[in-house]
Amino acid sequence: MERCSCGLITREKQAVPLQSVDVQVDVKDHVATVVSTLLYKNKEEKPIEAVFVFPMPSEAAVCHFNAKVGETLIVAEVKEKKQAREEYDDALSSGQQAFLLEESDQSPDIFSMSVGSLRSGESASIRLEYVTELDVQADEALRFCLPAVLNPRYQPAGTESSVKVTSVPSSLVPYDLTFSARVESSRPVSKVESSCTMDPVQYLNQDQTKASVKLAAGHKFDRDVELLIYYKDSHQPSAVVEAGQASAKPGSLMGDTALMLSLYPEFPKDIMSSISSFGEFVFLLDRSGSMAGSRIASARDTLLLLLKSLPMGCYFNIYSFGSSFEQIFQESVEYNQKTMEEALEKVKTMDANLGGTEILRPLERIYSQSCIPNQPRQLFVFTDGEVGNTKQVINLVKSNADSHRCFSFGIGEGASSALINGLAKEGRGHAQFITGNDKMQPKVIQSLRFAMQPAVGDISVKWDLPKGVSASVLSPPLTSIFQGQRSLLYAQLTGQSEEEAEGCVTVKYSLAGRPTENKLNFSLKPAEDTGLIVHRLAARSLIRSLEREQEGTRGQKDDAVNKKIIDLSVQSGVSSSLTAFIAVNKTSGEAIQGPLLRRDVPTPGYSSMSVDHCPIRNIDLNRSYGGGSGSSGGGGGGGLGRCGRAFVVPAPRFHQTFAAPPPSFHQTAPSDDANSALRAEMGPAQQDNAEWQSRDPLLKLVSLQKASGCWELEAALAKALNTTSKDLEKKQPSMAKREVWATILALVWLHGLKADAKDEWELLAMKAATWLRSQNAAGLAECVEAANALLGCRVHKGVLGL
């Protein structure tokens, strides 16, 4: 059998020209510079055009692109997108090599790289550089993610997309990945963790402020490469001042000094302790086929924790969606024991069986429901984020931002960072990503804590700067502030000051009707050797803000705003939706006879996809699998992948390509003799609770909590605590009520045996403590002592919040 030297061929025996990808990351505090080097080689007999569609962080600022062919280095320029495409096509028509890098028209987290006119036997080394901010996680880690997986984006019926995604199972990706990272901070690096297998961390100095890590050999493309970086005392306000570019025009963004502020607002404790946690909590769960397996199981467990953690007096509803959508209640209902039980019964049966990912229609339905007076709406969206109408969905959230806050969760590798971050940014909420071995529950409960914080209003920023220095804010206006969560602010500083001068920024806002403010003093002395990172991130922030302004105009684009975006992109060398990087090798001018052969470079797809009988699938975002081969020359239409497609292989529809969903909770009940005896001791309602007691001992206990926050003394509780009903009755202090004793037992078990999962159960434990205090019960100390003796714990009464 004929073999392809690069390890993968199409059905037509066409080689994949991308040989390897090398990624080097340089992290300084909470900003990363990423340099990717892609090596291409044409092992075919004729010239080819290689097209690679790949994921990028949605907030990344792509700032450099070049190609080296032999000894010739070709540096790309940023130009208006239409002009760049025309120059690319003209170059190929003239026999010149050309390289084009452009952002997708549909979503800012997808890029296309076109390597045109690569001659037989020729190699090209492509260097791509971008800078990006690092997200702050619930446990104070800074998260860097290199998206490796690009899943097909579900395109709703009746909409169009020009982006073509060529994906293969991770085991069949034909090119190698090497990855290394260097971390540097003014604070010691405590540790670096990863979702992938990494070599041990190497510290580069004695005070451990510099470290390096690299990906272990043999990495498989079955997940994004994620780093979690922990610094000592990382949650501290900070400022980075960066001098302008000497060659840039004074008064321009690149010529002036740029400032990046990291703010961590602290709310007054008396206000936070006095806030009543009311609200309307709306949960929107993705049940498309791509959520099958552990994703939907984890989502069910998360909904259980969420429903148990809600405060009495609030309102809630649960929506789920695929190609169609469902809702548990016709409208949001008051949270009590009856409605909680009814919701949990429906959640138990939820599977990933609703087809595609039509998220727009359920959102429209939610927004059509009137808001409940004095119950602020909090929307939680759970999705693997594979949609093709990203901008339309985000614009809908933006148009309803005044009526709610949106908290979004990207589940699994390949989730669209543009969708997840966009929902939270426009919805004045917070975004989280759950990848690799992450547990969904602690991240979701952290967002619930944010949702229970009072909405901050009347936000303003005041500057106190030396005479002759002024600040122009480049970031979008602050619309949301959360206790302890970082807010980033970029500004352009115009004018001259002494190097030792200082400035001050004050963020003022209204919290629970009381005026509140936080201040940060900073030095105006520029940092050394920053490489214009702050300028480029600031430019990207302003570009994104202008793009969102245009997207909200419902098709009525402002030409002046478009021009401003293009000018800013060209001036800063940062890509945008209206520009592209173009590089032409003008020394290679021999005319090529006939059309170029197009070769689509595959990306790894979601590992549980079925791929039928062939190694490569070219999947159009609008689910159209027809079409034939094409050429690279000529005008071509707009958008990415505008040339004819190669690797066209029939594939089943999206929602049919996944493994069957797992059995429901009703199919996982234990059947051993001990559990059979337990069932005989329980009533019907208690047996239903046992259906939730599947895998996690924590969930066994949580499933038994009442909406009020208490537990009842029952056989199921004894089972969850790994003891017997007889022991519970025997050890109960004589003066204690049954429900008080049961609730103390549950709290002691949580604090004593599940302290490592406190992020998951803390809110429902606080609700239990509130219930206990409302009972004015005597003998609580005796109950705690007895519970410790029974469960083998050493929990102090004060720890329980009593």
CATH value at residue 584: 2.60.40
- 3-state secondary structure (DSSP) of residue 531: coil
- Residues 641 and 782 grouped into a single domain: no
d(CA 656, CA 154): 13
- Most confident of the following: 555-569, 608-622, 697-711, 772-786: 697-711
Examine the pLDDT at 180 and tell me if it is beyond 90.
yes
Q: What is the pLDDT of residues 115-150, one digit of tens each?
A: 888 888 889 999 999 999 998 876 788 889 888 766
Last residue of a domain, one of 427, 452, 477: 452
- 3-state secondary structure (DSSP) of residue 422: helix
715: part of which helix (H) or strand (E)? helix 715-720
Q: Which residues contact 555 (CB under 8 A, 6 or more apart)?
A: none
- Residues 303 and 437 grouped into a single domain: yes
Structure token pair of residue 385: 């984020």
Q: How many domains does the chain have?
A: 4
Compute the Cα dihedral for 569, 570, 574, 576 and give only its sign: positive
CATH (domain of 423): 3.40.50.410
Q: What is the pLDDT of residues 107-116, one digit of tens each?
A: 788 888 898 8
- Residues 640 and 674 grouped into a single domain: no
Least confident of 236-240, 304-308, 401-405, 615-619: 615-619
- Residues 733 and 676 grouped into a single domain: yes
pLDDT reported for residue 18 = 85
d(CA 558, CA 566): 13
More confident residue, 169 or 392: 392
Cβ pair 704, 717 in contact under 8 A? yes
- Residues 618 and 696 grouped into a single domain: no
Amino acid occupying residue 488: L
- 3-state secondary structure (DSSP) of residue 578: coil
Q: DSSP assignment, residue 391?
A: H
- Residues 193 and 57 grouped into a single domain: yes
- What would the mean pLDDT of 725-747 be, rounded to a whole number? 93
Confidence of residue 15 (pLDDT cuts 50, 70, 90): low
Residue from 720, 776, 773, 779 nearest 746 by CA: 720
Count of CB atoms situated within 10 Å of the CB of 515: 9
364: part of which helix (H) or strand (E)? helix 360-368
Confidence of residue 169 (pLDDT cuts 50, 70, 90): low
Confidence of residue 649 (pLDDT cuts 50, 70, 90): very low
Compute the Cα dihedral for 378, 380, 385, 389 and give only its sign: negative
> Domain of 108?
18-231+573-646
More confident residue, 193 or 672: 193
- Residue 217: inside a domain: yes
CATH (domain of 461): 2.60.40.1230
Count of CB atoms situated within 10 Å of the CB of 54: 21
- Residues 351 and 363 grouped into a single domain: yes
Residue from 391, 660, 667 nearest 548 by CA: 391
pLDDT reported for residue 691 = 52
- What would the mean pLDDT of 623-632 be, rounded to a whole number? 30
Contacts 24+ apart (CB under 8 A), 531-535: 531/33, 532/242, 532/245, 532/254, 533/28, 533/31, 533/33, 533/131, 533/242, 534/31, 534/240, 534/242, 534/258, 534/259, 534/260, 534/490, 535/242, 535/244, 535/245, 535/253, 535/254, 535/258, 535/572
- Residue 686: inside a domain: yes
- Residues 417 and 500 grouped into a single domain: no
Confidence of residue 622 (pLDDT cuts 50, 70, 90): very low
- Residue 681: inside a domain: yes
Structure token pair of residue 428: 């004045």
Confidence of residue 100 (pLDDT cuts 50, 70, 90): very high
d(CA 776, CA 780): 9
Residue from 697, 751, 758, 690 nearest 722 by CA: 697
Confidence of residue 591 (pLDDT cuts 50, 70, 90): low
Examine the pLDDT at 245 and tell me if it is beyond 80.
yes
Cβ pair 283, 289 in contact under 8 A? no
- Residue 659: inside a domain: no
d(CA 469, CA 493): 7
Confidence of residue 313 (pLDDT cuts 50, 70, 90): confident
d(CA 534, CA 261): 10
d(CA 502, CA 518): 17
d(CA 272, CA 412): 34
- 3-state secondary structure (DSSP) of residue 79: strand
- Residue 677: inside a domain: yes
Least confident of 87-91, 498-502, 605-609: 605-609
- Residue 198: inside a domain: yes
- What would the mean pLDDT of 643-665 be, rounded to a whole number? 27
- Residues 596 and 485 grouped into a single domain: no
**With 0-12 CB in 10 A as exposed, 13-18 as middle and 19+ as buried, what is 272?**
middle
pLDDT reported for residue 152 = 56
- What would the mean pLDDT of 484-493 be, rounded to a whole number? 86
Whether the predicted model's global pTM rises above the 0.85 cut = no
More confident residue, 627 or 343: 343
Please give the order of strands across the beta sheet that includes 18-28.
Answer: 72-75, 61-69, 123-133, 31-41, 18-28, 176-184, 210-214, 202-203
- Residues 341 and 307 grouped into a single domain: yes
Last residue of a domain, one of 452, 485, 510: 452
CA distances from 359 to 381, 431, 655 (A): 10, 17, 15
Q: DSSP assignment, residue 723?
A: S
Backbone angles phi, psi at 615, to 5 degrees: -80, -15
Least confident of 468-482, 484-498, 567-581, 619-633: 619-633
Q: Could you tell me what percent of the chain has a pLDDT over 90?
A: 42
The 3-state secondary structure of 132-192, one letter per residue: EECEECCCCCEEEEECCCCCCCECCCCCCCCCEEEEECHHHCCCEEEEEEEEECCCCEEEE
- What would the mean pLDDT of 556-585 be, rounded to a whole number? 91
pLDDT reported for residue 374 = 82
- Residues 259 and 298 grouped into a single domain: no
Examine the pLDDT at 30 and tell me if it is beyond 90.
no
d(CA 704, CA 353): 28
Q: What is the pLDDT of residues 338-353, one digit of tens each?
A: 999 999 999 999 999 9
pLDDT reported for residue 150 = 66
Mean pLDDT, all residues of the chain: 80
- Residue 257: inside a domain: yes
- What would the mean pLDDT of 584-596 be, rounded to a whole number? 67
Last residue of a domain, one of 422, 452, 482: 452
- Residue 133: inside a domain: yes
pLDDT reported for residue 558 = 81
Examine the pLDDT at 2 and tell me if it is beyond 60.
no
pLDDT reported for residue 225 = 87
pLDDT reported for residue 277 = 65
pLDDT reported for residue 93 = 87
Q: DSSP assignment, residue 525?
A: S
- Residues 182 and 226 grouped into a single domain: yes
Examine the pLDDT at 238 and tell me if it is beyond 70.
yes
Count of CB atoms situated within 10 Å of the CB of 334: 14
